[in-house]
Amino acid sequence: MGCCDMAWHIVRKDWQLLRWLVVALAALQAVLALARFKLGPMGDIRELALVAGLPGSLMTFLVAAFVIAAVVHQDAIPGFRQDWLVRPIKRVDLLLAKLLFIVLLIQGPMFVTDLAQGIASGFPISQALGAAVARAVFVFVVFSIPVFAVAALTRNLTQVVIGLLGILLIVIAFLVIPSALGGWTSPIALTGVSWVPTVARQGLVFIAALAVLGMQYLGRRTVPARIVFGAVLVLGQFMQFLPWTGAFGVEKLVSAAPGREDNLSLAFEPGIGRLRTAVGQNVDDVVEKPGMGPVDVAAENQRRRAEGAVTIFVPVRLTGLAAPSLLFADRSEVRLTDASGATIYRGTGNDFDVRRDGQTSESVASHQGVRIPRMIYDRLKGQTVNLEIEYSLTLFRLEAAYGVSALDGDQRMPGVGWCKTRTDVSGTAVQVRCLQAGERPSCFTVALYHPASGQKNPDVSVCAPDYTPFPGHAIPDAMSRFGGNLQFTDRQGLAHYAVDSAKLPESQVLVKLYDPSTHVTRRVVAPTIRLQDWLPDTPHP
């Protein structure tokens, strides 16, 4: 019997023994895919979470892990009483058979439901196929092979559960202990370059899993294989401690267009004056954005108020920004020094992005928010200090612009996806919700525009920068869901919008798609300033 014949024989044997588990997993994936398809772009987020969001995805992967362990344990590697050891079965055949079972019968239905959902949602077959393939490869590398390796290191399901719990405890320990002991959080987390440590960790685990499979199926060296896998797993967790400069440096190296942008400059410009706010406006509050919903926003703003920090707004002028484009600060590191150059305080600046369209001048004025602990501010507010801001910036070029009706709009936009609009339940904002086969756009802006009068409300950024150089994600499926809200009424009467409820029926949502072009670093120096001079100019009601 040839190599492939024996492998297929083992696959058929495993199918006969586990077919109902495989069918149950495929049915679960099909039901969840149907639920997500029915929800479409405008599906209620809470409903999506309850029906087919994170809980459904976790259940799918839990069942898939159980099936992988079950098929591997049909011919377990550790021990000396396995049937396959006394039969004329080559170990390479056994390894190939288990791999074929995982790819065809566990990941196969996942691929089919991803492809079907993309096509049924109206996306081109090529795009739906690309999204399904990207997710299949991603899941194979970061989930299927590592779980395969863990199963190969164990004799039964109990040992698998113990092993997976051990892995979970290691991951949790590396997340909790640094924060609990020193209040440390990774500067890379939730940024566009967070892929660098993530891919490094996933790559190490994948390589270790391949090594384990080779050691087990070719040499049955269980103890050394367990040591190798555990050591690499721990080593991978240290990737989160990668410094910001290192991660951003890697991103600049692999960037498709790592241009220098020598004409781009940022400088302290006191002539701009203090930041002027509207009545009732709290410019230090965070707002909703991708990955940060209403509950997260409320919790963060409550934490900020309880913290009691003072925010100053440093005036800066940007020159050399080509139109139309957007400049986004991935990170801004702030340092206060005294006259001798000694560091008084280190921290990070608030979110910072600047847009320039074809109508604005090359020189753009803005303000950088800097939160300073109350105790430090009270001690230094009247003194002369030096302030330095080290920027890690990404330049986004405008790729496309679209217009969709503000009320009950329904439009497909290349690069963005299938988007719909409607007013929210409170009647104060337009909801923009989009569905894309594959990865969501890294950055786009939306704004309410009234063509008849030419009036436009401020742009709202729907940017969640992700500079990963390859596509693919695991949860919940091969589709991406995203969106934003456009306020047009303030029931408290503090803010007034050019495009209000009266103009809404004749208005559009302008969608501008931006693509990351290049990454640069710049430094702003504000010498001999007094912190109290740069508090916001807030008018009284």
Tens of pLDDT, residue by residue over 154-201, are 888 888 888 888 888 888 887 777 766 655 677 888 788 999 999 999
Give the pLDDT confidence score for residue 275 in this predicted structure: 85
The answer to whether the CB of 217 falls within 8 A of the CB of 95 is yes
CA 448, 450, 451, 456 torsion-angle sign: negative
Polymer length in residues for the chain: 541
Which residue did the predictor score with more confidence, 273 or 294? 273
Give the pLDDT confidence score for residue 289 in this predicted structure: 54
In the sheet with 429-437, reading across from the earlier edge strand, the strands are 410-413, 417-423, 429-437, 479-487
Half-sphere exposure of 421 (CA within 13 A, CB side): 25
Q: Please give the Cα distance from 31 to 23 (Å, whole number).
A: 12
Which residue did the predictor score with more confidence, 286 or 128? 128
Query: Which tokens belong to 534?
Result: 């740069």
Of these ranges, 69-83, 316-330, 358-372, the one predicted with the greatest mean pLDDT is 316-330
Residue 412 has pLDDT above 90, yes or no: yes
In the sheet with 265-268, reading across from the earlier edge strand, the strands are 265-268, 310-319, 364-372
**Burial of 147 (C-beta count, 10 Å sphere; 0-12/13-18/19+):** buried
Query: Which tokens belong to 465?
Result: 């920068």
CA 464, 469, 474, 479 torsion-angle sign: positive
pTM: 0.86
Q: Count Cβ atoms below 10 Å from residue 496 Cβ, excluding itself.
A: 9
